[in-house]
């Protein structure tokens, strides 16, 4: 345990004292991720992942826009979306902490384990169940007008032992939009933002994100689950701030062939197509197709689904809702809720390792400011003034979401949206003030309850874990 009973522990802000810090579990685009345990009596010992967001270069703290957006994300409640349980703003260094349900595994580690440790492919039941749940979570996000924009194996979390074992949780949803994930490595932590899952329209400079960019990424992840290797492993040109990444496009074209205006009519309107057409077209690509890479028979449902996800034209690319209805999921093996334990007892259960934890790392910069630096009462009302408009806008946005959502959200039969116990905490001096939750979030949950469910026989229990 880190700094237990130390001076640091005693001077920590009150919000942090509801957690027992275990250590650091990762570092990503936005900052560090820590493992902590809840000290709240009702959930004592429950594991929580706390993401600390870096202070912006300008050092101006968390913008009201970011808070509004995060409040919106907090209301996304779905079994296949990681649950944002708490939001904390630390006035000591004006940093933002998001507390999520903890997931023991992610697809990056699962794929790596198969590639490097067990050297066997992931069983077809697990691949199908993982893919179905990713699509189910994505369908929920897309039908609520949220585009993830940064889907990749490390953002696809899988729950470890317990009632939710093997359940997929999409992580980091919506954050790319709020924090404008940098398209280049961050100089201070060396984390590289991968371009391997980036859709061709983005690489060619499209200014309009649509949910189709997520479906391209899912196609890349699907292929990677089957082959244990990233499908399009382009080398990023870090010297260029432009979205145009020729090597990445080259890797795509080598498998799928040259895109043509015939198949993709809006191709010619993309800024980097017009600028680089000659150099792209001067290369002849064979279009060997997937068979050369992904071991799927060309006429199989799996092959058909993958090719529809990797359709060049984003308008023609299969949507999450359509993909969920695809024949692939109606054939054996039928996908299930616990993706890690095959329904067929003859299949091997692979024990995946727990996340490594760096026990030597402490939360940085979270000591409470000395009394002289405490926000005075006018500052405090300043911070609450910032919050209230956020809440109001949040409620309006929520209303818009409910009214505009026409797609049904697929959710296992009998699985209710988790009853949110999350609160927004704003630290005022040394006190932490829980904020009221807007009533509108009931709408999202109600929608969850009228769903289609997994194809096949699976009936999940009517229980939901709460923190």
157 forms part of the interface with ligand ATP (CB under 6 A): yes
Tell me how far CA of residue 436 lies from CA of 82, 387, 388, 422, in angstroms. Answer: 21, 11, 10, 10
CA angle 457, 348, 411 (to 5 degrees): 30
Radius of gyration of the chain (CA): 23
Sole binder of ligand ATP in the list 21, 22, 49, 309 (CB under 6 A): 49
Q: Is 27 or 313 the residue whose CB approaches ligand ATP more closely? A: 27
What is the number of alpha carbons within 13 Å of residue 467 lying toward its C-beta?
Answer: 22
Sole binder of ligand ATP in the list 16, 22, 77, 82 (CB under 6 A): 82
Sole binder of ligand ATP in the list 18, 63, 121, 154 (CB under 6 A): 154
28 forms part of the interface with ligand ATP (CB under 6 A): yes
CB of 349 to ligand ATP, least distance (A): 21
Q: Is 30 or 454 the residue whose CB approaches ligand ATP more closely? A: 30
Tell me how far CA of residue 465 lies from CA of 197, 440, 462, in angstroms. Answer: 32, 22, 10
In Å, the largest CA–CA distance within the chain is: 71
Tell me how far CA of residue 355 lies from CA of 113, 167, 216, 299, in angstroms. Answer: 12, 16, 28, 38
Q: Is 102 or 140 the residue whose CB approaches ligand ATP more closely? A: 102
What is the number of alpha carbons within 13 Å of residue 18 lying toward its C-beta?
Answer: 21
Q: Is 193 or 393 the residue whose CB approaches ligand ATP more closely? A: 193
CB of 169 to ligand ATP, least distance (A): 7
Q: Which of 101, 106, 150, 214 is catalytic?
A: 150
CB of 10 to ligand ATP, least distance (A): 28
CB of 356 to ligand ATP, least distance (A): 10
Sole binder of ligand ATP in the list 20, 79, 106, 224 (CB under 6 A): 106
Residue 416: both structure tokens together: 């209710």
CB of 176 to ligand ATP, least distance (A): 8
Q: Is 180 or 282 the residue whose CB approaches ligand ATP more closely? A: 180
29 forms part of the interface with ligand ATP (CB under 6 A): yes
Starting at the earlier edge strand, list the strands of the sheet with 105-106: 105-106, 156-158, 168-170
Sole binder of ligand ATP in the list 19, 53, 97, 100 (CB under 6 A): 100
Sole binder of ligand ATP in the list 36, 73, 103, 147 (CB under 6 A): 103
Q: Is 176 or 306 the residue whose CB approaches ligand ATP more closely? A: 176
155 forms part of the interface with ligand ATP (CB under 6 A): yes
30 forms part of the interface with ligand ATP (CB under 6 A): yes
135 forms part of the interface with ligand ATP (CB under 6 A): no
26 forms part of the interface with ligand ATP (CB under 6 A): yes
Q: Is 52 part of any known ligand binding site?
A: yes
Sole binder of ligand ATP in the list 97, 102, 197, 328 (CB under 6 A): 102
Sole binder of ligand ATP in the list 171, 174, 200, 302 (CB under 6 A): 171
CB of 352 to ligand ATP, least distance (A): 13
CB of 172 to ligand ATP, least distance (A): 5
* Binding window for ligand ATP (CB under 6 A); candidates: 22-30, 275-283, 286-294, 327-335: 22-30
- CB nearest ligand ATP: which residue? 28
Please indicate whether residue 448 is annotated as part of the active site. no
Q: Is 81 or 215 the residue whose CB approaches ligand ATP more closely? A: 81
Binding residues: 52
Supply the residues annotated as catalytic. Answer: 150
Binding residues for ATP: 52
Residues found near ligand ATP in the complex (CB under 6 A):
25-30, 33, 49, 82, 100-103, 106, 150, 154-155, 157, 171-172, 193
């Amino acid at each position: 345990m880190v700094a237990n009973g130390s001076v640091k522990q005693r001077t920590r802000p009150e919000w942090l004292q509801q957690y027992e810090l275990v250590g650091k579990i990762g570092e990503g685009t936005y900052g560090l991720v820590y493992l902590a345990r809840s000290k709240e009596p009702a959930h004592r010992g429950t594991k929580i992942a706390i993401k600390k967001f870096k202070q912006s270069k300008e050092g101006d703290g968390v913008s009201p826009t970011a808070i509004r957006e995060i409040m919106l994300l907090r209301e996304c409640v779905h079994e296949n979306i990681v649950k944002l349980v708490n939001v904390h703003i630390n006035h000591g260094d004006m940093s933002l902490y998001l507390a999520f349900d903890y997931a023991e595994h992610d697809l990056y580690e699962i794929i790596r384990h198969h590639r490097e440790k067990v050297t066997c492919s992931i069983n077809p039941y697990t691949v199908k169940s993982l893919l179905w749940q990713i699509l189910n979570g994505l369908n929920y996000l897309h039908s609520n007008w949220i585009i993830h924009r940064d889907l990749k194996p490390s953002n696809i979390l899988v729950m470890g032992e317990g009632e939710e074992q093997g359940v997929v949780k999409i992580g980091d949803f919506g954050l790319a939009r709020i924090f404008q994930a940098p398209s280049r490595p961050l100089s201070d932590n060396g984390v590289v933002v991968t371009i391997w899952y980036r859709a061709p329209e983005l690489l060619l400079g499209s200014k309009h994100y649509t949910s189709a960019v997520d479906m391209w990424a899912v196609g890349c992840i699907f292929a990677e689950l089957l082959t244990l290797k990233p499908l399009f492993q382009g080398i990023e040109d870090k010297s260029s701030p432009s979205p145009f990444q020729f090597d990445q496009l080259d890797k795509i074209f080598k498998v799928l062939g040259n895109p043509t205006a015939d198949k993709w009519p809006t191709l010619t309107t993309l800024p980097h197509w017009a600028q680089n057409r000659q150099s792209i077209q001067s290369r002849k690509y064979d279009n060997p197709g997937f068979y050369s890479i992904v071991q799927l028979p060309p006429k199989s449902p799996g092959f058909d689904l993958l090719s529809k996800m990797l359709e060049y034209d984003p308008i023609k690319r299969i949507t999450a809702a359509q993909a969920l209805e695809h024949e692939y999921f109606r054939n054996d093996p039928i996908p299930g809720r616990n993706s890690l334990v095959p329904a067929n007892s003859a299949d091997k259960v692979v024990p995946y390792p727990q996340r490594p934890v760096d026990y030597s790392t402490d939360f940085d910069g979270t000591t409470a400011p000395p009394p002289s630096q405490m926000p005075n009462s006018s500052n405090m009302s300043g911070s609450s003034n910032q919050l209230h408009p956020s809440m109001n806008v949040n409620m309006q946005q929520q209303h818009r979401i409910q009214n505009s959502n026409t797609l049904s959200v697929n959710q296992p039969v009998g699985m209710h949206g988790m009853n949110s116990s999350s609160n927004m905490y704003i630290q005022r001096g040394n006190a932490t003030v829980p904020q009221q939750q807007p009533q509108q979030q009931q709408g999202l949950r109600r929608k969850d309850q009228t769903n289609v469910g997994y194809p096949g026989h699976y009936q999940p229990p009517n229980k939901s874990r709460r923190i």
